[in-house]
Amino acid sequence: MQPEVANALAEAANLLLVGMVVVFLFLSMLIGAITLIAWLVKLVPDESLKPIENRGKLTNSTSANNQTVSPKIVAAISAAIFQHRQSH
């Protein structure tokens, strides 16, 4: 084999090895960072996930809103959904 070709193959193998090591290290660091973030999220509770204390007030207000929807609007939405399902 010619020395030029041998040198080119050696350089290609070296570049391949370095590239694979860099990708492996990057992915390992990425997995470590994601694991660390998941651990920190479990450690620090989120305030927005606490149960709602005033569930009765929320239920009453939503039921009042449901009663104010016009039956004509409900019929129009139902007809549009039916027509869409028939065409697809």
| pLDDT value of position 55 | 53
Query: How is residue 7 written in tokens?
Result: 């040198």
Rounded Cα distance between 45 and 19, Å, is: 40
| pLDDT value of position 35 | 97
Rounded Cα distance between 33 and 29, Å, is: 6
| pLDDT value of position 66 | 56
CB-CB contact of 41 with 33 (8 Å): no
Low-confidence ranges of the chain (pLDDT < 70): 49-67
CA–CA distances in Å: residue 88 to residues 59, 74, 76: 36, 21, 19
